[in-house]
Structure 1
């Protein structure tokens, strides 16, 4: 038996690519005020049904579902840009 969760995803007005996932029926009630201060005023981006078999483009579905159960929210951070990931993979020698 698969558990389906109705999820609402909010985008951050302060940081491009930062998203906040919550259970639709709980809304933002379990999201800490300190996170909302950093995140900015959440802008609803979409509502979707999550189940363990669903693939997400930028997040692991099992992690999202686990965080929704345990914490009441999941934060998706923006991916590192290509140049940032290239720089972080380089070893600089003196």
Structure 2
């Protein structure tokens, strides 16, 4: 499967994998807000035999097939932590809304 990897300009060490190039329309709005501007990094041919250094290849492929995207966060960070940090550093979070 061809996939396309983008680096978050806002969230250092976070990468977004897409099943189609520039298919940002499949992303939830909350994810778009969390990641901010994205920079294209590379195109990758991915299959079950290819080993990835950080991510589980099968999980990446499953996410790409079922939802069209996969989020790669820095090691030891969960999506809940990332969302919390994004919320507390946003203008909305600072107002306590």
How would you bin the TM-score normalised by the shorter chain? Answer: 0.7 to 0.9
Partner of 2:42: 46
Q: Which residue among 30, 33, 37 is the counterpart of 1:37?
A: 33
Partner of 2:8: 12
Partner of 1:71: 67
- How many angstroms does 1:26 deviate by? 6.7
Let me know the Cα RMSD of the aligned residues.
1.7
Per residue, is there more helix in 1 or in 2?
2
User: Quick one: structure 1 residues 26 and 52, their matched pair in 2 at CA, closer, same or farther if it must change by over 3 Å?
Assistant: farther
Count of residues in Structure 1 that have an aligned counterpart in Structure 2? 77
* Distance in 1 separating the partners of 2:24 and 2:48: 22
* Distance in 2 separating the partners of 1:45 and 1:25: 11
Please list every run of 5 or more consecutive structure 1 residues that lacks an aligned counterpart in the other structure: 82-94
Q: Which has the larger radius of gyration?
A: 1
Please list every run of 5 or more consecutive structure 2 residues that lacks an aligned counterpart in the other structure: 78-97
Q: So what's the TM-score if we normalise by structure 2?
A: 0.72
Q: So what's the TM-score if we normalise by structure 1?
A: 0.74
